[in-house]
Amino acid sequence: MAAAIGLTPRQHSSGGKNKLLGISRRGDAYLRCLLVHGARSAMRTAENKEDRLSRWIIDLQARRHANVVAIALANKMARMAWAMMMKNVDYDPDLAGISVS
């Protein structure tokens, strides 16, 4: 789902050398915009929270640029939304910081 929205890096690979470029920006621009704005909002409030997802955001912010963190979080939110729709479950903050399979 994240790839269809355009939240994954575009690849330019050959001969076993993988090169990841910027986000592809293909797919639904409005949905991608909403996810990125939601991610930026979550980034602003993460330092006041202690859940797994907020700790993941804070750790990532210490290592990466804010724009990279926003796209990574938007990608994670899209993957979580897809998993919740496919499994027909509600949001569980205890599972938000880990991948659901």
The pLDDT of residue 91 is 84
Tell me if 1 sits within 8 A of 81, measured CB to CB: yes
Cα separation, 41 vs 88, whole angstroms: 26
Tens-place pLDDT, residues 4-54: 787 877 767 777 777 766 676 777 889 989 999 999 999 999 999 888 899
- In a 10 Å sphere around its CB, with 0-12 CB exposed, 13-18 middle and 19+ buried, how is residue 97 labelled? middle
Q: Is the pLDDT of residue 101 over 50?
A: no
Q: What is the pTM of this model?
A: 0.79
- Cα angle, residue 63 at apex, residues 57 and 64 outer, rounded to 5°: 80
* Confidence label for 100 from pLDDT (cuts 50, 70 and 90): very low
